[in-house]
Amino acid sequence: MSTEIKLEGAAGSRDENKITTFTVPYYVESFGEVTTVGKDVSNGLAESTRSWQAWNAGADGWVVTVVYKGHLSEDDEAEEPENTEQWSMDFDFSEEPLQAHPNYSAITAAYGGFVEEGDLKFPEFIPNNAKSGGGLGGKKRKAGDRNPLFGTTTYAVMTARVTRSWSTKQIPKNAVNDIGKTYPRIPDAPDEINAVDFGDRNWLAMPPKISQNGNVWRVENEWLLSPEGGWIEEIYKESKK
């Protein structure tokens, strides 16, 4: 017969995706009950994890802490996925090869760049055959000046990632359909995000992250901002959405 007693100190919370976490401590007399106590719950949540601690080396019983997660049975707001979504936009820099720079031709002409065994290189000093900067910024250089691009192989590019996280009882059948496809604007994003001017760049749908939280699933969709000029259309297919 079960000796389970629900102790004082139960606590809960609901996160930004409307996923509820409920932690309940129980007391049982025997070690054989530490994995069975707290199995019957009526709030719609499902067990996520459990831990236990002995009292007086187990002679006085065990305290078992069970963590339940999911959507509460009476939480109507959480039943609609669009009510559970949260959006974020993060910015960073990435290093890209100079060969991918939109002004590659002008840069190599102005600073004497050449390709050797597949690698782009620049001489230590500006060569005599270097051409005008052709609209490039920075200080004007003349032949014999120290080359500011000597030893340089990459340049910094501003990147951005937009993430939508949400929760649902079932993983959508089309969860991976858009991976690798491009979008001029992020589908269903808040107006505040799509109002940001990124010029001639577009967005690439990344693989989603899907994790179980009790009886529901947390889904994270992510879109990656392209370099200038957009993702190469011969490689990345544009979504029809």
Ranges of each domain in the chain: 5-77, 79-95+156-225, 99-155
User: Please, are residues 131 and 110 in contact by the beta-carbon 8 Å criterion?
Assistant: yes
124: tokens are 């230590």
Distance, CA of 24 to CA of 45 (rounded, Å): 12
pLDDT of residue 137: 63
- Global pTM value: 0.80
- Is 105 strand, coil or helix? helix
pLDDT exceeds 90 at position 7: no
pLDDT of residue 133: 56
3-state secondary structure 35-48: CCCCCCCCCCCEEE
pLDDT (tens digit, 9 = 90+) per residue, 101-149?
A: 888 998 999 999 999 988 999 999 999 888 765 556 666 778 899 999 9
**Of 20, 7, 116, whose CA–CA distance to 71 is shortest?**
20
pLDDT category at 85 given cuts 50, 70, 90 is: very high
pLDDT (tens digit, 9 = 90+) per residue, 157-203?
A: 999 999 999 999 999 999 999 999 999 999 999 999 999 999 999 99
